[in-house]
């Protein structure tokens, strides 16, 4: 029987505004660009809603406890309450709103070295707006994952591609070298800053969680909301929106700086993390070789390499396996435990017919195997210990609310999966890793998938007490209310009185306001390659009356002919790290069967190699023929 995580565990959310510096600058037409860091705002909406709901649950719990006992100066969790007016009014309050107000006046113990959100009224929960960054050419963990014995060629290439991106776009129409899908991979001069900031936030979370080895940790559970994602990037091959592998770098940092030798990585993105699996395979192979050499020559001493378990729950019909290439499908189907030093489990998502079918059949008998195999790995390598940490590659694109065009094969999970499975991961980490769990954002593209998934996931990380979470919090009706309350408005936020009947909505808006980027990071405008004018003059000759105006290219961008020419925006199908033991050159185009449609996509426009994309004309100036024309 799974025991649930202790209510005293600290949870920290890490945000990084620098991620917004990664932009698509080839043209102003982003209709075919699936991944944009701005989508992190939807994650923040979900996190804010989770915190607002948890505050209400905490207040109700305190009210219940107050009815059975009166003990001033105490609060469940890691909050420290000063026994004075604020605490007294808290314990004497009878209404949830009064309790919430009193909670806001409490003095919570926390480290003052980072920018932590003020007034979060959930014991043991913090929001950190990270400013941490690294130099990818001078960081041990980055070089461990993406470096090379003969030099950091790949890392130097990324910097060079970003540095020269403007010039390359002007000259050739694209900044990404030939052979890489131009809509799946893009760069601007500030992209490296975004990647370095994302890595910095992940490493900061690792340091905070593992600080418990020398004292009380600032955090036990962490969620790092950064983009671009990372799990498709191999050692030296960018793919699927990913240029550096954030989770693999975090694992390497935990090993190199904190002596963590056993690492569990659980990947719950819709797509197989082929880059992470390839990196894990290489690391395990090297560690296994070192172990064999030590056995054959007992007198020699060398530092033991890390041993990593990688488990992925994904749709094998989607990228990178969508075209059925044998090496990619095989890699996404590997199940090997111990042999050749490898510890890898891949489980394929299946369509579910009802909640009962999902939880009673698929989850209980298939999907939970991902976690049981992780525990088997730990038991076979020494059991629980201080050298263990759990990572979650947390994509939300398998969510039931993801775009149909992204999840075309119906392999989804209900939103509550992100709550329940997260709780089980935390419970497992409690037994094997002193409760240490670090979750890093991967995929997820529709706002509703990101909002609901992030909301449920954070509740699973915090989970103050059994039964405190109501899964109705992320029902469609409540998500619609949340989206309305947090919709960006030019005139500012709605009046709090608008949500007087449901205070959690106004509270979510308040927390979201803190999470939003600072003016300095959000107001900076990136260089944009000037696209051709969208204005054009019609031929001065009168059109043939037999030709309908509705058949003109400008009037029918969604017609069949246009649709056939438009590229399908999806993840790329080539990745050098596609197989555990072999690689393939990244010179193949993305799947011809892929497409993505979303609320803000107006049209799909083909991006020709060597030329910037151009929008179809939207404004047409009609010019009458001269008065003396025949």
626, part of any domain:
no
Residue 502, token pair as written in the block: 């449901």
pLDDT at 495 over 60: no
The pLDDT value recorded for residue 426 is: 96
Mean pLDDT for 228-253 is: 98
d(CA 210, CA 256): 12
Mean pLDDT for 338-356 is: 97
d(CA 372, CA 249): 25
d(CA 245, CA 230): 4
Q: Which of 70-74, 128-132, 172-176, 347-351 has the weakest average pLDDT?
A: 70-74
**Displacement of CA 294 from its chain's centroid (Å):** 39
Higher pLDDT, 421 or 600: 421
DSSP 124: T
99, part of any domain:
no
d(CA 186, CA 192): 11
User: How many domains, the chain?
Assistant: 1
* Radius of gyration for the chain, computed over Cα atoms and rounded to the nearest angstrom: 26
Write out pLDDT tens, residues 581-597: 333 334 333 333 333 43
DSSP 361: I
**Best CA proximity match to 445, nearest among 29, 37, 30:** 37
CB atoms within 10 A of CB 546: 5
Write out pLDDT tens, residues 518-562: 765 544 555 555 554 443 333 434 444 443 333 333 333 333 333
The pTM (predicted TM-score) of the whole model is 0.77
**Collapsed DSSP state (helix, strand, coil) of residue 225:** strand
602, part of any domain:
no
d(CA 199, CA 144): 13
The pLDDT value recorded for residue 455 is: 98
Split at pLDDT 50, 70, 90, the class of 471 is very high
Residues 6+ apart with CB under 8 A from 319: 240, 271, 570, 571, 572, 573, 591, 594
Mean pLDDT for 617-629 is: 44
The pLDDT value recorded for residue 463 is: 81
Mean pLDDT of the chain: 78
Split at pLDDT 50, 70, 90, the class of 576 is very low
Higher pLDDT, 466 or 420: 420
Residues 6+ apart with CB under 8 A from 386: 213, 434
Higher pLDDT, 347 or 107: 347
> What is the percentage of the chain residues whose pLDDT exceeds 70?
68
pLDDT at 284 over 80: yes
The pLDDT value recorded for residue 496 is: 53
CA distances from residue 399 to 45, 137, 428, 445 in whole angstroms, order as listed: 16, 36, 23, 10
Higher pLDDT, 151 or 188: 188
Write out pLDDT tens, residues 302-342: 678 999 999 999 999 999 999 999 999 999 999 999 999 99
First to last CA, the chain: 91
CB atoms within 10 A of CB 52: 27
Residues 6+ apart with CB under 8 A from 91: 62, 66, 70, 72
The pLDDT value recorded for residue 465 is: 61
The pLDDT value recorded for residue 172 is: 94
d(CA 102, CA 105): 5
**Best CA proximity match to 231, nearest among 41, 42, 434, 395:** 395
Are residues 194 and 535 in contact, defined by beta-carbon separation less than 8 angstroms? Answer: no
Q: What is the 3-state secondary structure (H, E, C) of 38-69?
A: HHHHHHHHHHHHHHHHHHHHHHHHHHHHHHHC
Task: Rank 208-217, 472-481, 601-610, 617-626 by mean pLDDT and report only the highest.
Answer: 472-481
Compute the CA torsion angle 217, 220, 226, 228 (nearest 10 deg).
110
Compute the CA torsion angle 434, 294, 141, 431 (nearest 10 deg).
-10
148, part of any domain:
yes
Split at pLDDT 50, 70, 90, the class of 33 is confident
Write out pLDDT tens, residues 183-196: 789 999 999 999 99
Split at pLDDT 50, 70, 90, the class of 30 is confident
The pLDDT value recorded for residue 494 is: 56
Tell me which residue has tokens 């749709």.
Answer: 315
CB atoms within 10 A of CB 67: 9
165, part of any domain:
yes
CA distances from residue 32 to 165, 537, 567, 607, 615 in whole angstroms, order as listed: 19, 27, 8, 9, 11
The pLDDT value recorded for residue 466 is: 58
Q: 207: burial class by Cβ within 10 Å (0-12, 13-18, 19+)? A: middle
DSSP for 329-350, please give it: HHHTT-EEESGGG-EEEEEE--
The pLDDT value recorded for residue 554 is: 36
pLDDT at 88 over 50: no
Q: Where are the beta strands (DSSP E) in 148-229?
A: 221-225
Residues 6+ apart with CB under 8 A from 502: 481
DSSP 104: T
Mean pLDDT for 409-426 is: 97
d(CA 458, CA 436): 15
d(CA 34, CA 413): 21
Characterize 241-251 residue by residue with b for buried, 16 or more Cβ atoms within 10 angstroms of its Cβ, and e for exposed. Answer: bbbbbbbbbbb
pLDDT at 391 over 90: yes
Q: Sign of torsion, CA 89 94 98 101?
A: positive
Tell me which residue has tokens 């017609």.
Answer: 559
134, part of any domain:
yes
24, part of any domain:
yes
Residue 434, token pair as written in the block: 């002193």
pLDDT at 617 over 50: no
CA distances from residue 566 to 203, 333, 343, 404, 613 in whole angstroms, order as listed: 40, 32, 41, 18, 11
pLDDT at 228 over 80: yes
Q: List the domain range (segments joined by +) for residue 24.
A: 11-55+125-270+304-522
98, part of any domain:
no
CATH number at residue 329: 3.40.800.20
CA distances from residue 21 to 36, 38, 189, 512 in whole angstroms, order as listed: 10, 10, 9, 20
Q: Which of 294-298, 347-351, 354-358 has the weakest average pLDDT?
A: 294-298
């Amino acid at each position: 029987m799974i025991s649930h995580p202790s209510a005293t565990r600290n949870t920290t959310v890490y945000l990084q505004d620098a991620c917004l510096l990664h932009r698509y600058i080839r043209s102003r037409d982003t209709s075919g660009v699936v991944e944009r860091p701005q989508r992190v705002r939807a994650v923040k909406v979900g996190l804010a809603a989770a915190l607002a709901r948890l505050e209400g649950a905490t207040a109700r719990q305190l009210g219940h406890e107050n009815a059975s006992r009166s003990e001033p100066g105490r609060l469940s969790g890691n909050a420290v309450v000063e026994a004075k007016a604020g605490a007294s009014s808290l314990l004497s309050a009878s209404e949830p709103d009064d309790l919430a107000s009193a909670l806001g006046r409490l003095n919570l113990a926390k480290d003052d070295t980072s920018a932590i959100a003020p007034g979060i009224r959930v014991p043991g929960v913090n929001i950190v707006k990270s400013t941490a960054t690294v130099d990818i050419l001078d960081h041990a963990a980055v070089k461990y994952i993406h470096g090379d014995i003969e030099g950091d060629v790949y890392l130097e290439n990324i910097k060079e591609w970003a540095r020269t991106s403007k010039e390359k776009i002007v000259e050739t129409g694209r900044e990404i070298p030939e052979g890489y899908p131009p809509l799946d991979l893009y760069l601007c001069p500030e992209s490296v800053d975004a990647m370095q900031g994302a890595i910095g936030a992940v490493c900061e979370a690792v340091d905070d969680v593992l600080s418990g080895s020398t004292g009380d940790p600032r955090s036990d559970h962490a969620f790092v909301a950064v983009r671009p994602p990372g799990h498709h990037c191999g050692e030296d091959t960018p793919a699927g929106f990913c240029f550096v592998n954030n989770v693999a770098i975090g694992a390497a940092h935990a090993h190199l700086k904190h002596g963590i030798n056993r690492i569990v990585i659980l990947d719950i993105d819709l797509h197989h993390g082929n880059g992470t699996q390839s990196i894990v395979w290489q690391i395990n192979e090297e560690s296994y070789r070192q172990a064999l050499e030590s056995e054959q020559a007992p007198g020699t001493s060398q530092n033991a390499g890390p041993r990593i378990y990688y488990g992925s729950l994904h749709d094998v019909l989607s990228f990178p396996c969508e075209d059925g290439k044998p090496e990619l499908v095989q890699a996404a189907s590997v199940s090997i435990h111990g042999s050749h030093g490898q510890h890898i489990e891949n489980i394929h998502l299946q369509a579910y017919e009802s909640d009962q079918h999902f939880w009673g059949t698929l989850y209980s008998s298939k999907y939970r195997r991902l976690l049981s195999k992780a525990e088997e790995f730990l038991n076979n390598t020494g059991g629980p210990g201080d050298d263990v940490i759990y990572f979650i590659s947390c994509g939300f694109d398998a969510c039931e609310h993801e775009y149909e065009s992204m999840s075309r094969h119906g392999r989804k999970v209900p939103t509550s999966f992100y709550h329940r499975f997260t709780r089980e991961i935390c419970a497992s980490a409690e037994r094997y890793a002193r409760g240490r769990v670090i979750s890093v954002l991967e995929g997820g593209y529709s706002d509703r998938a990101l909002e609901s998934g992030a909301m449920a996931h954070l509740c699973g990380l915090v989970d103050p007490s059994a039964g405190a979470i109501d899964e109705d919090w992320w029902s469609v009706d409540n998500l619609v209310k949340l989206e309305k309350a947090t919709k960006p408005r030019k005139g500012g936020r709605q009046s709090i009185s608008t949500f007087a009947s449901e205070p959690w909505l106004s509270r979510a808006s308040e927390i979201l306001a803190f999470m939003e980027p600072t003016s300095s990071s959000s107001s900076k405008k990136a260089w944009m390659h000037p696209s051709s004018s969208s204005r054009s003059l019609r031929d001065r000759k009168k059109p043939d009356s037999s030709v309908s105006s509705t058949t003109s290219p400008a009037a029918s961008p969604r017609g069949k002919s246009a649709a056939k020419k438009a590229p399908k925006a999806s993840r790329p199908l080539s990745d050098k790290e596609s197989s555990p033991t072999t690689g393939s050159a990244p010179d193949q185009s993305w799947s011809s069967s892929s497409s993505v449609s979303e609320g803000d996509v107006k049209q799909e426009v083909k991006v020709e190699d060597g030329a910037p994309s151009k929008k179809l004309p939207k404004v047409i100036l009609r010019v009458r023929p001269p008065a003396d024309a025949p």
